Structure 1
Amino acid sequence: MTNNNVPLMQQAIEPASDTPSHPTSFSAEFHDSAIPAHAEQALHSLYGNVYSSMPHFRVYGGLDGANTFILRKGQVPVAVFLFRLTEHSAHILNEGMDVDDLAITQFANFVFQRYESVDFIAFKGVAHSIKNLAYPFSQCSCTDDSVISLPESSDAYLQALGKATRKNIKQYLNRLKREYPTFDFHVHDGRTVDEHLIRKIIALNRVRFEKKGKVSGVTAEEEERIIQMIRACGIVGAISIDGVPCAGSLVYCIGEHYHSWLKAHDPAYDDYRLGLVGSFLMISECIRRGGKTFHLMWGREPHKALLNSELRTFSNLTVYRNHAAALRNCSVLFSQVYQHSMRQGKLWLLEMERGSGKMSFPIKAGLNGMRKIKTWLPHRS
């Protein structure tokens, strides 16, 4: 196999016509064990997702030996897949994609024709619900993202919120400014922000988790990666009182799409709804910068719906060469079924925990006990 830009699949892709006199055909290029420079912009413009961004791959790794497939309609890229091969499978490395059946089918055509030993193709984090492929496939939900479609102005966003949420934001923001005249909100460019501010916000996040009886997922190693990501593509919003940071947001910018990776506030200001106020101020800043979407990321916390977000569910998708290949790799399907069942069970527990039915009390007690054990174990290990 050669390491170059090769036009492919002209015969495999059926041409489409916008008008009889202006035909538009699909074409593709392939790079063996390489990622061309122009793939980065295509990834950002097509998907706008941090998990499909080159800054994320540069910091977290995972692209060693990766191949690149770019599908175009005319001259415009409509799909970019970075993938790695094993003996019997192809694994797509970029995630968080909204990609249609046609692009997946054409990529499958290419892979199954070029690599005779490949039985299946594995996608992670596909937003589109696949319905009509030319190959057998299995699909199961794996995670969520709460996404806010940003309007033209901060005022328009505020007016689009629910009446109670809008009232609370105004009330608590005015109260903070009145009772703390030194209240200040400032957004820092990630390339020049003081590293100590980033670490302070992460420390506040850990305190919030401890107060809830949970363990923060931000390890020392992850903290260093967050700092690298902020330097590469981030901004930092911070609220300070008397010059001391008391709340903040770490946000990654992928084109016109903003991802709220981590936010926190000092529990001493819980009575001021500083988390809600800080989120509104940060979202407003992203609107001012021309943002199209603001991602609140994982989880189904009630406050995300209050901020006018829409829940998007992502799925793991496996495309098989044929039914015989699916049978040979039935363990892949069983693994998906298991993961789906575990996810549905977790979501059910969370709904019961937040509810007020007869079963909510023992479920709350059980989950709190498990969280305490989880918090206790690392300190004893």
Structure 2
Amino acid sequence: MNTGPVRSCSSPVGTPDISFYENEVPPFARQQMEHLYQNTFSSTFAEHVGEAATNTYVVREGSAVRTIFLFQVKGRHVVVLNSAIPLETSEIEQFVASVFARYGSVQAIKFVSVETDISGFLFPYQQLRASEDFILSLPATVEAYWERLGTSSATTLRRKQRKLERESAGFSFTIHEHGANMDRVITDIIRLKTNGKDPAARLDEAQQAWLREVVGTHGFVGVICANGRVCAGAICTRVGRNYFMHVVAHDPDFDAYSPGVVCIYLTVCAAILRGGREFHFLWGPSVWKRRLRSVQHELNDIVVYRSRMDAVRCARTALLGWQRACWRRLKLGLLAAAAPERPSARIAKPLLDQWYRLKRNTPR
């Protein structure tokens, strides 16, 4: 991970057919972005799109759209809203050169949580490890996924599911995509999440509002009901053939059955049956994500400066980025130390809980 000083390299910049739409997300952008990226976080309903005036950058090759970035200008900084997608260095460089040419007062451009590793670049930049996305490439059949899980994990999941079916009344697993019951189901799952033991997992009002909005059009929600109530749920979205898990929660009364993991497993199977290509478990390291055979993809923040002098002028931005990277490393260390099987958990777990309380009480 690079958290060192701002660096500069050199590379030629091409001259593609580029268009800017000022303070506008044109009507064609939604369908085109879903086709290009198939990603909830790189779409017209991505987080923060509606929080400020949003501009659109479009690259075309002939009549075909190759790239669409949504971005906001905040003073002398530009923030790109597309995230959680792989980007080539050339894509970033074309955008950066175009923005600097168009907006003379902009000193820095930031990409948030993208999968890239810059090598060779015209402008000074920072590349900081920011997050991760655990991605499961979906096989063609549920049987193939069962084989990929391995005997131990597959047998444990099946045993937990059968025990829950046997020892609870009215067991059912349902996928909700549309319909009048969607809002009620989302409310039940958010309630389970809010009442859970993990303070980091609780959703604030803005997060809940965004989730309800995006689920209304792209929702894919797996729900396990038992004993007449929701005992576990996984709130996901689907864009194209890709699925994204935003929230998983379960009723602690059912802890013995591991209903949360069972619900996720059944939701993944439902995605396979629908011809899914990828299932994104998103950020936050977890043992169960690896057991379900997802692979960790590192996501980086990229901050690009117009010049070395602008990098000096934006020293606060550079320092904050480095600080966030350091805090992330500390958080990951606490998460590892707080694992139940570690002797350090007795000390690390209270520290981690305090960390999350401070984070929740800090204004955004």
Q: TM-score, normalised by structure 2?
A: 0.87
Runs (5+) with no aligned partner, structure 2: 1-11
The Cα shift of 1:354 comes to: 2.0
Indicate yes or no: 2:301 matched with 1:311: no
Query: What is the aligned counterpart of 2:45 among 35, 39, 55?
Result: 55
Counterpart-to-counterpart distance in 2, 1:87 and 1:347: 33
Structure 1 residue 235: Cα displacement:
2.2
Kindly indicate whether residue 218 of structure 2 is the aligned counterpart of residue 233 of structure 1.
yes
Distance 1:98 1:77 in 2: 17
Contact kept? 2:35, 2:240, Cα under 8 Å: yes
Label 1:332 to 1:265 Cα distance change in 2 as closer, same or farther (>3 A).
same
What are the Cα deviations for residues 39-83 of structure 1, in whole angstroms up to 9, with x where unaligned?
2123223322222222335xx543643221112344433321112
Runs ≥4 in structure 1, deviation > 6 angstroms? 371-375
Q: Is the 8 A contact 1:13 1:27 kept in 2?
A: no
8 Å contact kept, 1:183–1:242: yes
Alpha carbons of structure 1 residues 12 and 366: separation in structure 2 relative to 1, 3 Å: closer
**Amino acid across the alignment from 1:324:** M
1:263 match = 248
Question: Which letter maps to 2:122?
Answer: A
Q: Which residue of 2 aligns with 1:17?
A: none
Letter of the 1:146 partner, please give it.
F
Name 1:42's counterpart in structure 2: 32
Write the distance in 2 (CA, Å) between the matches of 1:138 and 1:42.
30
The match for 2:278 among 293, 296, 301 is 293
Say if 1:72 and 1:78, in contact at 8 Å, map to a contact too: yes
Give the 3-state SS of the residue equivalent to 1:130 in structure 2: coil
Cα offset, 1:221, TM superposition? 4.7
Does the aligned pair in 2 maintain the 1:320–1:326 contact within 8 Å? yes
Counterpart of 1:7?
Answer: none
Q: Which amino acid aligns with 1:139?
A: Q
1:85 equivalent to 2:73? Answer yes
Letter in 2 for 1:145: D
Identify unmatched segments of 5+ residues in structure 1: 1-10, 15-25
Aligned to 1:159: 147
CA contact (8 A) 1:125 1:316 kept: yes
User: Alignment partner of 2:58: what SS?
Assistant: strand
Matches within 5 A, 1:97-246: 97-180=85-168, 182-209=170-197, 212=198, 214=199, 216-246=201-231
Q: 1:374 deviation in Å? A: 6.5
**What's the TM-score, normalizing by structure 1?**
0.83
Secondary structure of the structure 2 residue equivalent to 1:72: strand
2:170 is paired with a residue of what secondary structure? Answer: coil
Distance 1:282 1:208, change over 3 A: same
In 2 relative to 1, CA 366–37 (structure 1 residues): closer, same or farther, beyond 3 Å?
closer
Residue 349 (structure 1) aligned with residue 350 (structure 2):
no
Q: For 2:120 and 2:153, locate their aligned partners in 1 and report how far apart those are by CA, in whole Å.
A: 41
Instruction: Count residues in correspondence.
Output: 351
Q: CA deviation at 1:344?
A: 0.6
CA shift, 1:355, in A, is 7.3
RMSD: 2.7
AA paired with 2:240? G
SS at 1:118's partner residue?
coil
Return closer, same or farther for 1:243/1:258 CA change in 2, 3 Å cut-off: same
Query: Which of the numbers 237, 258, 277 marks the counterpart of 1:252?
Result: 237
Shift of 1:307: 0.7
1:52 match: secondary structure: coil
State the partner residue of 2:3: none
**Partner of residue 32, structure 1:** 22
Distance change (3 Å), C-alpha of 1:371 and 1:97: closer
Between 1:166-175 and 1:348-357, the stretch displaced more is 348-357
Structure 1 counterpart of 2:57: 69
**Distance (whole Å) between structure 2 residues aligned to residue 350 and residue 34 of structure 1:** 41
Aligned-residue offset at 1:269: 1.6
Structure 1, residues 121-162: CA drift from partner, whole Å, max 9, x if none? 111111111112111111111122211111111111111113
Q: For 1:185-240, what per-residue CA distance to the aligned partner results, in whole angstroms no more than 9, with x for missing partners?
A: 1111234334222211111122322xx5x364323454343222221210222111
Partner of 1:13: 14
Mapped partners of 2:200, 2:95: distance in 1: 41
Deviation at 1:286, TM superposition (A): 1.1
Matches within 5 A, 1:262-281: 262-281=247-266
Q: Distance in 2 between matches of 1:165 and 1:319?
A: 44
| Residue equivalent to 1:23 | none
